[in-house]
Amino acid sequence: MSGTTTGATNGLAKRVTGQVHVIGAGLLGASIGLGLRAHGTEVTLEDASPTTALLAADYGAGRARTPEDPEPVLVVVATPPDVVADVVARALETYPDSVVTDVASVKLAPFLELRRRGVDLTNYVGSHPMGGRERGGAIMARADLFVARPWIICRDEETPAAALALIEAVALELGATPLEMTPQEHDRAVGLVSHLPQAVASLLAGRLLPASDQAIALAGQGLRDTTRIAASDPELWVQILGANREPVVEGLDALQADLAAFTDALREPEAPGARRRLADLLAAGVRGVSRIPGKHGSSERFTTITVLIDDRPGQLAALLTELGDLGINMEDLRLEHSPGAQIGFAEIAVLPEVAERAVADLTERGWRTL
């Protein structure tokens, strides 16, 4: 196993040498495959659904294993959480010399289940790369899904150093930041920063169902942001929340107490101290949100320029053609427009060094930029 990293002094220069086998070719598995292949690592794939495996392969995330392939140095289990323990146990048996990791978003339940079955866990290191999107599937995969994101590694005292180093090398190769935690620490932390917001966003979004069209038409960025992750797959989240029940229920109970206190204070504004209680709860929110570290990663690599476009056919095509003529490479594009408005915005991500020239050139050609 000592050949799995180059042992370079700079962590970022580490390389994964040898094949990596990914089981489960959805969003996470395909993104890991894409990212590792971009760095020259050979990746093989399998999925319970042959269609999904083929789609991920077409997308460039890896290829099917053949009988000629050597045993992989690493097996990454990227299946839904409720089958993780099964698939990890099977992988440890099928590939006795491979390190096996999983990337499930809960860490204690699968670990306890593997322990309960008496599986030899010497070669197993649980991990959790904290990248994700509200929509899953291989077609949403991105090689940069984990860039600048934490990649939690759940080692214990029996984890061989080489196995740990291998997972770290994978995390670093994909641009993530490896962090060590116990499964318990991990589950408490994600219960608060990931699972609780998911439940809250879903319940808030559910309140929109009985609303009038007139009310929905007034929705703005605040509502969009607070409910964005509510678009996530319910089936997956029933599994995740169920597997991390204790921390999530604790968080929901605490939130419910705050919600009751807030509602009571708003209902009876003349009760002694009611306005003060409202203000205190709102101020706690201000302090809470200020604890969240700044946005890291892919977005900071680019500068966004905003171009106003008239809402008529062909305007966006004309803008993009113009950008191409100007030799400006568009790294990302986001369109903002509102039904009924005559104007929309194209938010175009470009490399910082070309942003100023792009704005000048576009302005000169009659485009309005913000």
Residues 227-256 interacting with a second copy (rule: CB under 8 A): 227-232, 234-235, 237-238, 241-242, 245, 248-249, 251-256
Contact status: 193 vs a second copy (CB under 8 A) = yes
Which range binds a second copy by CB under 8 A, 45-53, 69-77, 85-93, 284-292?
284-292
Contact status: 354 vs a second copy (CB under 8 A) = no
Neighbours of 132 (CB within 10 A): 18
- Nearest-approach distance from CB 167 to a second copy, in angstroms: 16
Contact status: 353 vs a second copy (CB under 8 A) = no
Q: Please, which residues have CB within 8 angstroms of residue 297's CB and are 6 or more apart in sequence?
A: 144, 147, 148, 149, 175
CA-CA-CA-CA torsion sign (244, 246, 251, 257): positive
Q: Phi/psi class of residue 148: alpha, beta or left (left: φ > 0; alpha: ψ in -120 to 50)?
A: left
CA-CA-CA-CA torsion sign (159, 24, 60, 330): negative
Which one, 93 or 336, has the nearer CB to a second copy?
336
- Nearest-approach distance from CB 71 to a second copy, in angstroms: 26
Among 15, 63, 142, 155, binds a second copy (CB under 8 A): 142
CA-CA-CA-CA torsion sign (245, 250, 295, 238): positive
Segment holding 57, helix H or strand E: helix 50-58
Contact status: 259 vs a second copy (CB under 8 A) = yes
Among 272, 292, 364, 366, binds a second copy (CB under 8 A): 292
Which one, 100 or 359, has the nearer CB to a second copy?
359
- Beta strands 74-77 and 63-64: pairing type? unpaired
- Cα-based angle 132, 136, 140 (whole degrees, multiple of 5): 85
- Nearest-approach distance from CB 43 to a second copy, in angstroms: 11
Which one, 70 or 273, has the nearer CB to a second copy?
273
Of the candidates 333, 303, 338, the one whose C-alpha atom is nearest the C-alpha of residue 319 is: 333
| 305: phi then psi, degrees, rounded to nearest 5 | -110, 140
Binding residues for a second copy restricted to 311-340, rule: CB under 8 A: 313-314, 316-317, 320-321, 323-324, 329-330, 332-340
- Mask: binding to a second copy, 108-137, rule CB under 8 A, as x and -? ----------------------xxx-x---
Tell me which amino acid residue 284 is.
A
Which one, 156 or 225, has the nearer CB to a second copy?
225
- Cα-based angle 105, 240, 216 (whole degrees, multiple of 5): 110
Among 49, 184, 304, 306, binds a second copy (CB under 8 A): 306
Using the structure block, give the residue that is written with the tokens 């070719």.
Answer: 25
Which one, 1 or 140, has the nearer CB to a second copy?
140
Binding residues for a second copy restricted to 163-182, rule: CB under 8 A: 175-177, 179, 181
- Nearest-approach distance from CB 320 to a second copy, in angstroms: 3
Among 8, 161, 203, 271, binds a second copy (CB under 8 A): 203
Contact status: 351 vs a second copy (CB under 8 A) = no
- Cα-based angle 287, 290, 291 (whole degrees, multiple of 5): 95
- Nearest-approach distance from CB 164 to a second copy, in angstroms: 18
- Hey, which residues does 23 pair with through a beta bridge? 46, 77
Binding residues for a second copy restricted to 46-105, rule: CB under 8 A: 59-60
